[in-house]
Structures are given as C-alpha cells and as structure tokens.
Structure 1
Amino acid sequence: MQDSETDNIRTVPPKILIRGATGATGRLIVNQAVARGYDVAALVRSGEKARDLKGANLIIGDARDEIALRQALKGRDAVVSALGTPASPFREVTLLSAATRMLVNTMKAQQVSRLVCITGIGAGDSAGHGGFVFDNLIFPLLLRKVYADKNRQEAIVRNSGLDWVLVRPSVLNDKPGRGSVRALTDLSDFRGGSISRQDVATFVLDQLRADAWLHRAPLITW
C-alpha cells in the first residue's frame, strides 16, 4: 500500500498545468484532475488531438517554447509533467531534457514551485529492476536513448530547487485501476511489475497535496 500521507496533507492546488496531456496517461490525469474540481490548463502541440480533453483550458504550443510556457504557467500553482517520447533505437533523444530545462527555468520566473514529473522504471537507480524481458530486450534495443534523456531530465528536476516529486511507474497497462499502489525507493528485492495508467494518474495527482514523497523518486507498482 502507498505510505500514509495523512500527516502531510497540504492545500490542494486549485490551478494546475499538465504537460503531455494528449498521451495515454496524460489524458487520464486531465480527466481525474477535472473530476477533482481542479482548474486545469494543458499545454498541447495540437488542438485537434486535444479536442476531447473536456474541462481543460488548452494552450497550443511546443513544450520547449518559452512564450507558450509563460502563457500556460500564468496563474498556475503546480505542474504535472507526463511528457513522453517514442522509442528511438538509433536517433539521439533530447526532447525530455530540453523541455524540462525550459519548464524549470520558466516555473522559477513565474514563481510556480510545485512539480510532479513522471519518468519511468529504468531511470536512475531503478535501472535493472524491470524484469527479464524489459531489462534485456526492450530497454537495450528500443529505449536506451530515451532513458539516457530521462536520466538527464531527472537530474534537471533534482537540481531545480523546486518542490519536486519524480514518479517512476513500472510497466504501464490499460487495465482498470485498483485504487492502491506500492510506492518504493528500496528496490533491492524488486524485479518486474506493472501498474495501470489509471492508478498512476491518481498517485501523481495525490502528490500535489501531500509532501510524503517530496524530493524523492518513488517507483510505483501493483
């Protein structure tokens, strides 16, 4: 079960920005945030792809565009980053780190301090804990360059001076949420695992109002 956060409850931020809102996990984060009554803004590259994000204020622009970010962050209290990038076996990946560096700088300029950022199992010290298929086939053949950039992204967040939480989901699935997760930082006995996007969205949004995982990088799994 997720660690108790009842002693660290903070006021729920009423105004949040979501990056990566048109991705499979990002859409669930938007839907849950709207259902919770949050004032939700979403920075998206394509208004066409985001037409079904009901209840969110859409800002069209690239995640690396300072002008778009300034507009998106205006009046916001916190940011959720669910930005992802496709597998890239051969080409170097820089989107995640470049966009995160711009986000951190702009958050500081706009005095927005809370950042919850999704990376994934395989980032940082969670490398080698994804299970046999993930660690020996998927990661080295398809995701090595993506995760090199995720590591750069995590370093930028860690050194940002913001109130950050890095969330590392285990292998994602589209099953219904169970309503509870395990959040781990000691991975010595952990290998493999999966989790629904629905439960990831719930955990991520919970971190906007609680400090139990502040300045930490929990791996979350069933």
Structure 2
Amino acid sequence: MKALKLLILGGTGGVGRQLVAQASAAGHELTLLVRPTTACEVPEGVRVLRGLLDERPRLDEAMAGADAVLSCIGMQRANPANPWSASRSPEDLSSATARLIVAAMREHGVPRIVAVSAAGVGDSAAQLNLVMRFFLATSMIGTAYADLARMEAVYAESGLDWLAPRPTRLMDGAATGRVAVVERFGTRAAITRADVARWMLDALSVPSWPDPSWGGRTPQISAES
C-alpha cells in the first residue's frame, strides 16, 4: 500500500496507540489531534496538534490534506474495569464528534473514514448473550452502545466512504494477523487492540468499500478460532 496522509483521532487510547505505532512503522504520514491535557508520546515524525474537535479552526488544520481519517473515539469510564463506573464523557460523544468530523471532511474533500464501533451495536444486538444484555440494560455500556449506533447512522447519512468495524471484546496483546469477519460471535469471542488497528489500516488498501467479504460497512471482526 502506498504511503497515505492520515488523521488519527482518539490516538492516545488502546486501539489508537496501536494505530499510531503501526501506521508510523508502515511509512504513513500521521497527524494526531490530541486534547491539551492528554499525555501523548508518539514515534518520531508524527505530527501532534493540541486542541478539541469542536474547535473548528484546529480541526481544519488537522484535517487539511488528509487522504483518510481513522477514528477511535469512544466513551471513557472513571474506572474502566467497572461497567457501572461513572462516565468521564458526554453521553453523545461518538455521535456528536462524528458530525463534526463529517463537516470537516466535506469541507476539505477527505473521502474516507474508518471509525471503531463494537460488536453488539445496532442490528448486531440480537447476537448478544444474556450477560451482555444485562450489562447494556444496567450500566454505562448500554449508553455507549446506543451512541455508537447513532454514530454509525451519522456516517451512513454523510455521503462519505465510511467503515465502522465492530470488534468483539477487546484485549491487550500483540497483533496476530488472524482476524475474521464473523456473522455471529459467542461469549468468548475476543480480538486484540493491535489486530483491530491492523484491520483498519489494511482496509485502506481496499479500493472499493465495502469489500464483498465484509457483508456491509459495519463488519464484525474477531480473532479466528
């Protein structure tokens, strides 16, 4: 794949850090837009702009000249290990930022975006097991999933070339390269954040979205069993 100019949003999170490392190693030209108070260590040559997505001049500066956008924006809990922990993010974070991103992409003629969603969002909710349904009904996870569904709708209505991969349960660990698009997923289905990042980057080399093997623009991805 030829080197691309990529804007990475959410680049300091789990999947985002993997994206930055892998995309930089692959020779892509990267720009990150990072909140002023967020710690950020990046490989040499990665351009870091400090600002907020709703600061339009800063977003314009980050977006200008990009070939594609990779977004890992998602809600954060005060205690990530506790599904009932208070949210550190607005309840409409993913959908509200998607609207800002779409407007800037249109303004600057940036055609493609890959934005991380989650298995169980939208029309994949019927595949959730009883435990996950309980979490969605009683905890912040349900709020986050509802907002991810709204985010997907924003991109679907944008007229842009978009993908919103829905990974199964995220884990730490190295990229395995053994990733499959799955129609259904079980209780133990999982994927490393590094593999999600690799799938997102690999998708940029596909000339026409969605690839027939994906089954649509919201493919569920998981580690091969």
Fold equivalence (TM over 0.5): yes
Q: TM-score range by the shorter chain?
A: 0.7 to 0.9
* Alpha-carbon distance between aligned partners in 2 of 1:14 and 1:47, rounded to the nearest angstrom: 28
Shift of the 67–103 alpha-carbon distance from structure 1 to 2, 3 Å rule, reads: same
Runs of 4+ with deviation above 3 angstroms: 52-55, 87-92
* Alpha-carbon distance between aligned partners in 2 of 1:64 and 1:53, rounded to the nearest angstrom: 26
Write out per-residue CA displacement over residues 113-149 of structure 1, whole angstroms, 9 at most, x where no aligned residue.
0101101112111214344432323664231111111
> 1:69 matched to which residue of 2?
59
- Superposed, which structure 2 residues align to 1:130-145 within 5 Å? 130-137=128-135, 140-145=138-143
* Alpha-carbon distance between aligned partners in 1 of 2:45 and 2:209, rounded to the nearest angstrom: 29
Q: Which fold has the larger relative contact order, with Cα–Cα distance below 8 Å and residues 6 or more apart in sequence?
A: 1
1:199 matches 2:195: yes
Q: Which among 171, 174, 188 is matched to residue 173 of structure 1?
A: 171
- Superposed, which structure 2 residues align to 1:48-127 within 5 Å? 49-87=39-77, 93-127=91-125
CA shift for structure 1 position 25: 0.9
* Alpha-carbon distance between aligned partners in 1 of 2:25 and 2:137, rounded to the nearest angstrom: 35
* Alpha-carbon distance between aligned partners in 2 of 1:59 and 1:145, rounded to the nearest angstrom: 30
> 2:27 matched to which residue of 1?
37
* Alpha-carbon distance between aligned partners in 2 of 1:175 and 1:99, rounded to the nearest angstrom: 28
Across the two proteins, how many residue pairs are aligned to each other? 209
CA shift for structure 1 position 84: 1.4
Q: Is contact 2:64-2:108 (8 Å) kept?
A: yes
> 1:4 matched to which residue of 2?
none
Q: Which among 151, 154, 158 is matched to residue 153 of structure 1?
A: 151
Give the gaps of 5 or more residues in structure 1. 1-10
Q: Is contact 2:20-2:42 (8 Å) kept?
A: no
What is the percent sequence identity of the aligned residues?
A: 33
Write out per-residue CA displacement over residues 46-83 of structure 1, whole angstroms, 9 at most, x where no aligned residue.
36511345431001111232211100011111000011
Helix, strand or coil: the match of 1:96? Answer: helix
Normalised by the size of structure 1, how large is the TM-score? 0.86
CA shift for structure 1 position 172: 0.1
Helix, strand or coil: the match of 2:66? Answer: coil
Give the gaps of 5 or more residues in structure 2. 78-82
> 1:221 matched to which residue of 2?
222
Q: Is contact 2:161-2:209 (8 Å) kept?
A: no
CA RMSD of aligned residues (A): 2.1
* Alpha-carbon distance between aligned partners in 2 of 1:183 and 1:103, rounded to the nearest angstrom: 26
Helix, strand or coil: the match of 2:65? Answer: coil
Normalised by the size of structure 2, how large is the TM-score? 0.85
* Alpha-carbon distance between aligned partners in 2 of 1:53 and 1:159, rounded to the nearest angstrom: 35
